[in-house]
Amino acid sequence: MELATPASGPELEAIYDSDDGFDGDIAVRFLRGTDPYASLLAEGDAVVVPVLRDAAGRAVGMGACVARTAWVNGEQKRVGYLTGMKLMPEVRRSFRLIPQVYELIAAHTRDVDLFVTTILTSNSAARRMLERQRPGMPEYRMVGSYTTHIFRVHTPPGPGIRVTGGTLAELSELATSTASWPANLAPVFPPAGLTDADVRILRDRTGRPLAGCAVWDQRAHKQYVVARYAGPYARMSRLPVHWIGYPRLPRVGIPANDAAITLLAARDDDPDLVFRLLRGVGWKERRRDFLLAGTIEGHPYADAYARLRTIEYGSILYTVHFTPGSPGLDPGPVTLDVGLL
């Protein structure tokens, strides 16, 4: 066991390539290009990546913690998102290896105040393994259900929707105008690489911002690749379903042309403003296969996605505790960046 370095990209790529993707009617592989180390670092401001090696020195497993500054119970804290827990097929039954990954992460993240992670709802094996407290493993506390919404807009928005460019400063001002500010896990700083050119603002007739977001194109460092379609999607994938407002289903083996919605905010947390913003942004981004956005159960913005034609998949959000009895999240709105998943 050792920590990866910026030179470990090819070894980490081989581990990602060994993953066939999660099962379901749409089996998706999450890949991180030729340099997963740089890819993980692009989603925070620091990263810790333990690597497991076999007796011959070959990298056969990994984990990762992406750290960033976010809001936790009304204060700015260091938050670590645990991700990338992967083992090569020949060692996947070796549960004893996983505690070593956590041990190394904990030893090199002393500045992190709270750890969080998500597990696909359909991944019942991982949930059973991690939800039950085991010796040498951290405690997983369920926060709630997290839904990833995949959508595309195929018709022009109505005349009352005017979406323009904007600035990151305007998004910051909008965030402070919401009833839920500061929502737990919302980033304090914009993701690295975002600029004013990525901002989209819904404005009233006077130009005042009503709602806004940024379109985070992560394709340079993270790709979603469909491994196979099954069930109803096997038939849908052969039809132009995007003509009637559903996401365009990418061809098998071809990275999707997608982007994530981030820094989403609307005055007074009004879901109607969010819906109008997403309609306008979706139309402007209609050349993409789809856009991604995420909400946790109970969030007021969830009503906006119910009015769009979406494909959804569910995850469970957890706080992860290496120290028994350490504090978690207070009750209230939670905003986890879908770009981290």
CA-closest candidate to residue 211, choices 175, 239, 179: 175
Clarify whether residues 211 and 333 are in a common domain: no
- Of 28-32, 128-132, 174-178, 304-308, least confident by mean pLDDT is 128-132
User: pTM score, two decimals?
Assistant: 0.91
- Which pLDDT band, with edges at 50, 70 and 90, does 4 fall under? very high
Across 225-247, average pLDDT: 86
Q: At residue 23, does pLDDT exceed 70?
A: no
Residues 248 and 129: beta-carbon distance below 8 Å? no
Clarify whether residues 161 and 307 are in a common domain: yes
Clarify whether residues 136 and 157 are in a common domain: no
Give the structural domain span for 12.
2-143+318-340
Residue 310 to residue 305: CA distance in whole angstroms: 8
Instruction: Reduce the DSSP state of residue 292 to 3 states and report it.
Output: strand
Cα torsion angle, 291, 341, 169, 175, sign: positive
Clarify whether residues 167 and 249 are in a common domain: yes
Total of domains in the chain: 2
Clarify whether residues 81 and 200 are in a common domain: no
pLDDT digits (tens, 9 = 90+) for 104-141: 999 999 999 999 999 988 888 888 888 887 777 899 99
How distant, in Å, are the alpha carbons of 30, 87, 167, 263, 278 from that of 194? 21, 32, 10, 11, 19
How distant, in Å, are the alpha carbons of 161, 162, 280, 310 from that of 157? 6, 9, 6, 17
What CATH number should be reported for the domain holding residue 59?
3.40.630.30
How distant, in Å, are the alpha carbons of 15, 48, 63, 103, 322 from that of 107? 23, 10, 14, 6, 10
Q: Give percent of the chain with pLDDT exceeding 90.
A: 64
Q: At residue 194, does pLDDT exceed 90?
A: yes
State the chain's mean pLDDT as an integer.
Answer: 91
pLDDT digits (tens, 9 = 90+) for 276-318: 999 999 999 999 999 999 999 989 899 999 999 898 989 999 9
